Structure formats: structure tokens, C-alpha cells
Amino acid sequence: MNRGNRKAQIFIDDLDRRRFSRILLEEQKTHGVKVCSECQMGTHFHLIVTTPRGNLSDFVGAFEGRFADYSNRRHGNVGHLYQGRFVDVVIEDDVQLLTALCYVFLNPVSAGLVTRIEDYPWSTYRATAGLGPAPPYLSLEWLESLYPGEPLKDAQQHFRALMNEAQPVVAYFGPQSAAVDPCAVKRVVRSYVGENLRLGQLPRLFRSALRASLSELFPPGLGRSELPTRIYDARVTHGYRLVEIARHLRLHRATVSRIFRSACKSHE
């Protein structure tokens, strides 16, 4: 993903969005990249891609550079379009893939742009779920990984139903295998989100996917000596804001901030 410089708009109008998709298609072919999902917001974009040639930087650099040149030329701007180098996270298994897909596809809903995920026109969700034609750069081979042995149409139907669940990642495992413990799935995702992304590397919603509730993190009867570790974990691993933690604990924000800073020093 990448954002506009100084959080400015990357896409001014639909013409910009269509040009972005066209450049993406051309560079995807040139670099042999498979685009698993795309979502164009206003100030930023998200992509999930597979790079068989191990050339992610070359691919992103090429299409970002071409689009920046086009955008500056069309809108009469100079300088950087993006805030800096793109942010990338390696996806290594189905849980991480599904977590990333949920974030990318639900981003417009979380931002309040639409109320239903299928109503956002600048995302590949509709094509992925079988609700519309797929753009030529979109690869749906990953559906075979999530639903092995299923025809594409059936896999799309399953995925569409899954995305309507309150907790898609847990739901993905729950109905298909009674032996899978949903709590274990949550722990896997929390570990991935907390340990590999850490604080501030990606938007807060991604870090908070399937996170524990504050009631779980701060159970009744918790001793004061445990507060620093718990506050640090809630802030860094689970992405809660200090004001949310303070409100839950019924403590002043300055108090929680002081405890958090002290905990940070012990983790240095």
C-alpha cells in the first residue's frame, strides 16, 4: 500500500482511477505479477500480489512512477505524489491471506464510503465474489488455496458468504472443521499482527483484526503490577489507542500514558 504525499488525494476523479488500473494491467504483464486484490481509496491504494519472479520493488516502482508522471502532468503538479516508499508485508499462509483480504475489501466500509462491501466500485471485491466481470489483471487462483477442489463459481459463493460474517477468519475455519479451535485461530492472527507489523507500520484496522477485546485484556481482579504489561500489549500488539484504554480502565489518560511510556522503556 501507499499513501499520497502529506495525505493528499491520489485519485482526483474517475479518469485517474481508470488510468491507474490500465497502468497496473500493463506493468502486471511486463513483470509477471499476479494481482490477487486491489482497492483504490482516495488518499491511498491497496494491492495484494504474488510475485513469482521476486520483483516486487521493480513492479511497484514501475507502475507508481508511471502513474505519478501521468498525475503530475494532467493536474499540473510537481514533486512527489506518494508519501514515500510503499509499505509491504509478506503473506505466508491462508490465515494471513484472509486477514489481508478482509482488510483490503472492508476498507471502504470502515471509511464510511459505503455500507455494503459490494457497493464500492473501485475495488476488485465484486469480481472476486462473482458479482461482476473481472478486470484483465485480476488473478483468482488464490481462491483455490482457500477452497481446494471447489469450482470457481462455488468458491466465489463461499467467499461472498464468508465476507458477510462478523469474523470472517474464524468463520472460515469453524464450519469446515470441527477440530479447529476458533480461539487458536485468533491467537495465530494476533501473533502475526502483533509481532510482524508492530505499531504504526500499517493502518490501525489491519493491526486490530480479530484482536482481543479490552475486557479480555483487562479481566476483573487484575493486579496493579500487571497493568504496565497489559497496557503495552493492548497498545502495541492489539492497536488500541491510549484514550480507549483509559476509558475502559476509568483512569485519566495522562496516567495511562505515563504507565505506557514506562512499559516501553522496559521493552527497549
The more confidently predicted of residues 96 and 202 is: 96
| Local structure of residue 197 (DSSP, 8 states) | I
Nearest to 90 by CA among 50, 41, 61: 50
Domain identity same for 9 and 66: yes
Band of pLDDT at residue 53, cut at 50, 70 and 90: confident
Residue 186 has a pLDDT of 54
Q: Answer whether residue 8 shows pLDDT above 80.
A: yes
Domain identity same for 130 and 185: yes
The CATH number of whichever domain residue 226 belongs to comes to 1.10.10
The residue among 88, 121, 152 that closes a domain is 88
Q: Answer whether residue 28 shows pLDDT above 60.
A: yes
Quote the CA–CA distance of 75 and 13 in Å, as a whole number. 11
Domain identity same for 98 and 84: no
Domain identity same for 230 and 193: no
Q: Answer whether residue 9 shows pLDDT above 50.
A: yes
Domain identity same for 59 and 170: no
Domain identity same for 20 and 107: no
Domain identity same for 60 and 149: no
For the stretch 190-215, pLDDT in tens is 444 444 444 444 444 444 555 678 89
Domain identity same for 205 and 183: yes
pTM of the model: 0.66
Residue range(s) defining the domain that contains residue 115: 91-210
Rounded mean pLDDT of 221-246?
A: 85
Domain identity same for 120 and 24: no
Domain identity same for 46 and 76: yes
For the stretch 120-170, pLDDT in tens is 999 999 999 999 999 999 999 888 778 888 899 999 999 999 888 877 777
What is each CA distance from 246 to 38, 78, 153, 257, in whole angstroms? 36, 44, 47, 9
The residue among 88, 122, 155 that closes a domain is 88
Residue 202 has a pLDDT of 45
The residue among 58, 73, 88 that closes a domain is 88
Task: Decide: residue 109, CB within 10 A, 0-12 exposed, 13-18 middle, 19+ buried.
Answer: middle
- Tally of domains within the chain: 3
Domain identity same for 203 and 221: no
Quote the CA–CA distance of 128 and 97 in Å, as a whole number. 14
What is each CA distance from 172 to 37, 52, 158, 165, in whole angstroms? 18, 27, 9, 9
Length of the chain: 268
